[in-house]
Amino acid sequence: MDRDIMTETPLSLDPERLVARAETTFAIEIAGIEALKKRLRQNDSFVRAVAIILAARGRVIVTGVGKSGHIGRKIAATLASTGTPAYFLHAAEAAHGDLGMITSEDVVIAISYSGQSDELLTILPAIKRFGAHLIALTARATSPLAQAAEVHLDVSVPQEACPHNIAPTASTTATLAMGDALAMALLEARGFGPDDFARTHPAGALGRRLLLRLADVMRPRDRCPVARADTPFTEALLTMTQGGMGMVIEVDEHDRPIGIFTDGDLRRLLERGTDWRHARFGDVAHPAPKTLPATALAAEAARFMETHRINHILAVHADGTLAGAVHMHDLMHAKVI
């Protein structure tokens, strides 16, 4: 039986108070990011951090513990997906052997709001010994971590959203925003575009739209319903039924598509009461069917079909011969649309 949760809510959980707390949280976190934005042009730390990462021949290793570690994982993932090879290294694990992942060609981004997390301070000498670059994200420029870094990025916030000013809230939001800013600045500097993004996300919707070509989703020539101009129309209809694409393609003697007949055309033919029993296929097929190169992007085919309000597109080789055919359902099945 469904229960009305609101009627069972304790009196202390007043809806107005809950919404007000949420609004206060948003306001405090927005203020934290606004403070971050204002500091950005006060020195060249951000630009120097980007320059160090761009010049590095190795990878970016993001490290931290606790909530900073969780934020670090996301920053590393964002960097990696936008053209900057990166991975996350837990500071505690680093002290127990994983420091071997760091080389002199790498850049370490160490995250600690206080700038004095014991786990990070423990591995600082090793990072220095390896010769890796060190960028620190902390709230205190005078902290041991900030002092040891080549570049310190100040991620301090006026206050936490936590009413007791204890739980990391606004500070983790600001740190995450700084990580996103680094990733987007690096993306800009590298000229990392949608095609590059698609190559790192081949299983995603963007990857499908930008990487799949007609040749990847089309029904190949040997599976296409095809007829010649002199084929009896009744035989062409049987071919259309067996083909399962709701159409028949007319090809010439060189196997180039020169006409098409769809199930919509058949309905219109029946509505007109035309006697087609003795007709040839070439007499009823529509000339000049819509075609695209088999190398065209599947997304381009989807736009083309939507623009022309058609359900089929024919794919052709460079010499104009039939390569295959695509139905709108094929694009939907491939999740291009």
> Distance (Å, rounded) from C-alpha 62 to C-alpha 81?
14
> Distance (Å, rounded) from C-alpha 168 to C-alpha 299?
43
- Tell me, yes or no, whether 126 lies in a domain: yes
218 and 173 in a common domain? no
- Tell me, yes or no, whether 4 lies in a domain: no
Q: What is the CATH number of the domain that holds 66?
A: 3.40.50.10490
Domain that holds residue 157: 12-192
172 and 27 in a common domain? yes
- Tell me, yes or no, whether 203 lies in a domain: no
- Tell me, yes or no, whether 3 lies in a domain: no
Asked if residue 326 lies in contact with residue 312, where contact means CB atoms within 8 angstroms, the answer is yes
236 and 186 in a common domain? no
231 and 165 in a common domain? no
In this prediction, residue 205 carries a pLDDT of 53
258 and 176 in a common domain? no
Interval 183-190 mean pLDDT:
92
231 and 170 in a common domain? no
pTM value is: 0.63
> Distance (Å, rounded) from C-alpha 285 to C-alpha 296?
25
Here the tokens at position 172 are 């983790």
The model's pLDDT over 253-274, given as tens digits with 9 standing for 90+, comes to: 999 999 999 988 888 888 887 7
Residue 100 has pLDDT above 80, yes or no: no
- Tell me, yes or no, whether 154 lies in a domain: yes
The model's pLDDT over 125-161, given as tens digits with 9 standing for 90+, comes to: 888 888 999 999 999 999 999 999 999 999 999 999 9
pLDDT band per the 50, 70, 90 thresholds, residue 194? low
- Tell me, yes or no, whether 111 lies in a domain: yes
> Distance (Å, rounded) from C-alpha 112 to C-alpha 116?
7
In angstroms, the first-to-last Cα distance of the chain is 39
Rounded mean pLDDT of the chain? 88
185 and 249 in a common domain? no
User: Residue with structure tokens 């095609």?
Assistant: 195
> Distance (Å, rounded) from C-alpha 162 to C-alpha 21?
10
User: Residue with structure tokens 């850049």?
Assistant: 107
- Number of domains observed in the structure of the chain: 2
- Tell me, yes or no, whether 246 lies in a domain: yes
Here the tokens at position 3 are 């229960």
157 and 42 in a common domain? yes
- Tell me, yes or no, whether 204 lies in a domain: no
DSSP 260: E
Q: What is the CATH number of the domain that holds 239?
A: 3.10.580.10
